[in-house]
Amino acid sequence: MAEPAVPHTWASRLRSEIERWVSDGIITPEQRDSILGRYPQSEAAGRDRTILILTLLGSLLVGAGVILFFAANWPKLSAGFKLAAVVAAVMGSYGAGYFFQYSPGSFPRLGHSLIFLGSLLYGAGIWLVAQVFHLDSHFPTGFLVWGLGVLPLTAATRSVWVLYLTILALTIWTIMEQTGGPAYNFLYPFIMLAVAAPLSRKVKSALAEVGITVGLLAWFLAAVMTHLSGLSPRWEIAIVARVFMLYGAQVFAIGVARLGDRRAFTALGGLLSLAGAYMLTFRQPYGPAGAMPSLLSGPAVLIAGLGLVLAVTLAAGLLAGRRKQPGALRLEFFAAVPVVAALFAHMLPEIPRMVAFNLLLFAGTVGWIILGIRMRSQMVVNLGLGAFMVHMLTRYFDLFFSAMNRSLFFILGGLLLLGGGWFLERNRRRWTQGWGGDDVEA
Amino acid sequence: MRRKHWFILAVAIQVLVLLGMAARHAYTVRTGQPVMLETAPVDPWSLLRGQYVRLSYKISMLREGEVTFSGAPYRDGQRIWVTLRKGDPYWKAVSVSDRRPATATGEVAVLGTVQWMSWSGEPSGESSTRRPAEVSVRYGIEQFYVPEGEGRELESGRASLSVEVRVDSLGRAALSRVFRDGKEITWH
């Protein structure tokens, strides 16, 4: 009897491994065939993915070609003809996409790609109509009209690629709006949280959830920097670093509380927190000296809002976890570490702060690797090992670049890298031995 | 509602957006009052939009002494009304207001957006005692799209450029025609 569908990466690895088992005499070719026979869907999934990638690439090429064709602004074509051509291209692509995706016995992957092409053509159409009629409106508004225009299509088709496009267009819009002038643009988080996030859940796309999370970080950073405009670059970095830590803690808490995709949110949140801590391990070299501003001197509404969301997340995660595993150590508590560090970093003088954040980063990286082992996630372990190496190399360059003979510096640096690589590879193998797939849920 | 209906509705919204953009322009050009303006070009290029000539007008920079300001101070991004008076041959800005002004014969009020402004008077004084010195305004008529390769020729031609814009009853302006040395530019 066939097993249920399994992840394509897992099945692919099984197929490559099983040939080695046969050649090593562990199993017979007949046993290989019967094992592979349990996962017939994995072959089809691989083919489907190839078809989807090919047709999506085709859509992107056609979309780029159409944009460039109209960008040439051929004078022989009248304005009415150009408008009709744009509308016909959009409707034709959607019509063909619907036919191929939903008609019985047809080609759903091709249909999906054509619907995606239609949403690209619609975006191109906004600027092409502006070109035809010499319209000169506020440029970022084009991205807003694009993102909002394809949003209902995402709901109607559940197309994950159209959803990615929506998130991308709206995020470009808010970044352009917020960096072009002082603006908090509260419409962006509202659309993301009230519309795009539920849609991501419906289409079950962790990547879309991660895209929304990164977009909201960009929005939050731009809003904070708007409030703090005029600050010296020295302290802008310090503010950005602590926003990364606060926001990373929030995302991490969502992940470990399983309020979002566990692996994606845990990994992203941890990375953001570690990146924020890393920024504060340096002596701040730019601008005049002075006391680091408190994070609470930033926009009070935004910081308080983030704190409130964090508190709600933690409470929901703790309650859910207590019901599932009474008395177990909750990982949510680790989210408190970057929060406390971010809120109180300004109280320390510069050198003690650098030392404290180096220790914190070291502890955080080690804790991150342990978490990856506990979650049985190679991705988390590998990211943790990478972060560890980056931290060590940075300090090596900081401390020894000016103090040592150059040739000795590079020789020792090279040996450090080679030795570190050997050490990490050996331990990673030991830790991840027997996990089987790329990532295994704990 | 069935999936098909939702799909049709979602596509219809997009088509209406595209047609609406064209219809709004067509309304202004068809019903608006013609206004001649003197202009000077620059020449950017954009992947999404192709090649276009960026037009700068005398009415894009409004200066104290040349126009009167009411309702100031203005903030960046604020919509303001600029009253244009018919000249020979070009129209000139005569006043700026934060509200729609009454216009006499030979005048038209057009909506613009404040890009930035500078001040005269006491720099540290109360905002109510400060007066605008210069106000940079955008009207939505600053781009003229040209076939690929034509923009540089326009810019290097050293010819005098002027445009005819149309201003509709809602104060919206739309670019109608562009002239080089008094002769309409057309590639059709």
Please tell me the distance from the alpha carbon of residue B17 to that of residue A280, in angstroms, as a whole number: 47
Of A73, A87, A181, nearest to B50 by CB-CB distance is A73
What percent of chain A has pLDDT above 90? 13
pLDDT, position B22: 92
Mutate to test the interface with A, among B1, B5, B7 (most CBs of A within 10 A): B7
Tally of domains in chain A: 1
pLDDT for A101 beyond 50: yes
Beta-carbon separation of A181 and B47 below 8 A: no
pLDDT, position A145: 94
Residue A12 resides in a domain: yes
pLDDT, position A45: 58
Give the mean pLDDT of A129-137. 83
Chain A hits for B116, CB-CB cut-off 8 Å, are: none
Mutate to test the interface with B, among A134, A135, A151, A153 (most CBs of B within 10 A): A134
Of B17, B22, B48, nearest to A133 by CB-CB distance is B22
Residue A260 resides in a domain: no
Please tell me the distance from the alpha carbon of residue B146 to that of residue B187, in angstroms, as a whole number: 9
Question: Higher pLDDT residue, A141 or A259?
Answer: A141
Residue A21 resides in a domain: yes
Residue A180 resides in a domain: no
Question: Higher pLDDT residue, A197 or B157?
Answer: A197
Please tell me the distance from the alpha carbon of residue A170 to that of residue A146, in angstroms, as a whole number: 8
Kindly report the three-state secondary structure assignment for every residue of A195-261: HHHHHHHHCCCHHHHHHHHHHHHHHHHHHHHHHCCCCCHHHHHHHHHHHHHHHHHHHHHHHHCCCCC
Residue A417 resides in a domain: no
The distance of B69 to chain A (nearest Cα, Å) reads 24
Question: Higher pLDDT residue, A311 or B54?
Answer: B54
Beta-carbon separation of A132 and B188 below 8 A: no
Beta-carbon separation of A136 and B142 below 8 A: yes
Chain B hits for A149, CB-CB cut-off 8 Å, are: 13-14, 17
Please name the residue of chain B whose CA is at the shortest distance from the CA of residue A67.
B48
Beta-carbon separation of A75 and B147 below 8 A: yes
Residue A406 resides in a domain: no
pLDDT for A18 beyond 90: no
The distance of B49 to chain A (nearest Cα, Å) reads 6
**CA A202 to chain CA centroid, nearest Å:** 18
pTM above 0.95, yes or no: no
Q: Are A174 and A189 in contact (CB under 8 A)?
A: no
Is residue A440 very low, low, confident or very high in pLDDT (cuts 50, 70, 90)?
A: very low
Chain A hits for B52, CB-CB cut-off 8 Å, are: 131
Beta-carbon separation of A90 and B50 below 8 A: no
Residue A254 resides in a domain: no
The distance of A185 to chain B (nearest Cα, Å) reads 14
Residue-range definition of the domain harbouring residue A31: 1-38
What is the residue-averaged pLDDT of chain A?
79
Q: Is A224 exposed, middle or buried (0-12, 13-18, 19+ CB in 10 A)?
A: buried
Beta-carbon separation of A126 and B3 below 8 A: no
Give the mean pLDDT of A161-190. 88
Chain A hits for B145, CB-CB cut-off 8 Å, are: 73, 131-132, 134
CA-nearest of B32, B35, B34, B36 to B168 is B32
Is residue A122 very low, low, confident or very high in pLDDT (cuts 50, 70, 90)?
A: very high
Residue A262 resides in a domain: no
Please tell me the distance from the alpha carbon of residue A311 to that of residue A305, in angstroms, as a whole number: 10
How many A-B residue pairs are in contact by the CB < 8 A criterion? 115
Chain B hits for A130, CB-CB cut-off 8 Å, are: 21, 49
The distance of A343 to chain B (nearest Cα, Å) reads 34
Interface residue A323 vs chain B (CB under 8 A): no
Is residue A1 very low, low, confident or very high in pLDDT (cuts 50, 70, 90)?
A: very low
What is the full per-residue pLDDT of chain B (188 aa) written as tens digits?
A: 677 888 999 999 999 999 999 999 999 999 999 999 988 776 666 655 667 778 889 899 999 888 998 887 788 888 999 999 998 889 999 999 989 999 888 999 999 999 888 877 655 555 556 677 889 999 989 888 877 766 666 666 566 788 999 999 999 999 888 888 888 887 64
Give the mean pLDDT of A260-267. 81
Q: B37: which strand partners?
A: B163
Give the mean pLDDT of A222-238. 75
- Taking any CB pair shorter than 8 Å as contact, residues of chain B touching chain A are 3-4, 6-7, 9-11, 13-15, 17-19, 21-22, 25-26, 46-52, 76-77, 113, 138, 140-148, 174-175, 187-188
Query: Which tens digit of pLDDT belongs to each residue from A372-409?
Result: 887 777 778 888 888 888 888 888 887 777 666 777 77
Q: Which residues contact B141 (CB under 8 A, 6 or more apart)?
A: A134, A136, B55, B57, B163, B165, B173, B174, B175
Please tell me the distance from the alpha carbon of residue A186 to that of residue A193, in angstroms, as a whole number: 11
Chain B hits for A138, CB-CB cut-off 8 Å, are: 113
Q: Where is A416: in which H helix or E strand?
A: helix A406-432
Token pair, residue A22, equals: 């046969």
Phi and psi angles of residue A364, each rounded to the nearest 5 degrees, phi first? -65, -40
Of B9, B49, B77, nearest to A130 by CB-CB distance is B49
Please name the amino acid found at residue A289: A
Beta-carbon separation of A136 and B174 below 8 A: no
Mutate to test the interface with B, among A135, A144, A172, A178 (most CBs of B within 10 A): A135
Q: Are B34 and B175 in contact (CB under 8 A)?
A: no
Token pair, residue A17, equals: 């491994």
CA-nearest of B112, B118, B128 to B77 is B112
Chain A hits for B147, CB-CB cut-off 8 Å, are: 72-75
Place of tokens 């990547």: A207
- Concatenated DSSP letters for B117-180? EEEES-TTS-GGG-EEEEEEEE-S--EEE--TTHHHHHHHT---EEEEEEE-TTS-EEEEEEEE
pLDDT for A57 beyond 60: yes
Helix pair angle (A40-71, A8-23), 10° resolution: 130
Please tell me the distance from the alpha carbon of residue A299 to that of residue A200, in angstroms, as a whole number: 29
Question: Higher pLDDT residue, B46 or A371?
Answer: A371
Interface residue A53 vs chain B (CB under 8 A): no
pLDDT, position A173: 94
pLDDT for A162 beyond 90: yes
Cα of first residue to Cα of last residue in chain B, in angstroms, is 47
Query: Which tens digit of pLDDT belongs to each residue from A23-54?
Result: 888 888 888 888 877 765 555 555 666 777 77
Of A87, A131, A142, nearest to B19 by CB-CB distance is A87
Give the burial string for B121-137 (b: 16+ CB within 10 Å, else e). eeeeeeeeebebeebeb
Helix pair angle (A262-279, A206-227), 10° resolution: 30
Beta-carbon separation of A135 and B25 below 8 A: yes
